[in-house]
Amino acid sequence: MKVEIFCDGACSGNPGVGGWGCILRYGDNVKEMSGADGNTTNNRMEMTAAIEALASLKRPCEVHLTTDSQYLVKGMTEWIGGWVRKGWVNSKKEPVLNRELWERLMELSRLHTIHWLWVRGHNGHPENERCDELARAAIETFRRSC
């Protein structure tokens, strides 16, 4: 089963009010999801979008996950192995930020075969643009609810 996931995060202030949005596509079926947090960072929202999308899958899948976050893609494809081996410290010998989110992504990644794909943000990629709209709308909805 091949699923396409597109995700994005946004933050108004960094840290500040943040939102995330994602699109899941399986054949002709499309699902959009979004959410917000009152005190967060852009990186956390990028990661949360991926976590929420992957957590919504009901069975193991081959996933093509597309994001404009190099932090997310490089974290999952290049850095995470070293962080784990070194006890969750980075190259500067400092604790890895967002460890609990990285650990959740690792847990979800074990369930699926994931291809992490990067696209340039705000560059006309239709699904990436839509995810940005979802994330920004979630921020506005959050602000109106407070």
Predicted TM-score (pTM) of this structure: 0.97
| Sequential pLDDT tens for the chain (146 residues) | 899 999 999 999 999 999 999 999 999 999 999 999 999 999 999 999 999 999 999 999 999 999 999 999 999 999 999 999 999 999 999 999 999 999 999 999 999 999 999 999 999 999 999 999 999 999 999 999 98
Residues 6+ apart with CB under 8 A from 125: 66, 68, 119
pLDDT at 1: 84
Is 28 annotated to bind a ligand? Reply is: no
User: Tokens representing 69?
Assistant: 């976050």
How buried is residue 33: exposed, middle or buried, by Cβ count under 10 Å (0-12/13-18/19+)? middle
pLDDT at 87: 97
d(CA 146, CA 141): 9
Is 37 annotated to bind a ligand? Reply is: no
Contact criterion met (CB below 8 Å) for 10 and 139 = yes
pLDDT at 146: 85
Contact criterion met (CB below 8 Å) for 78 and 91 = no
Active site residues: 8-9, 46, 68, 122, 132
Q: Which CATH superfamily is domain 2-145 in?
A: Ribonuclease H-like superfamily/Ribonuclease H (3.30.420.10)
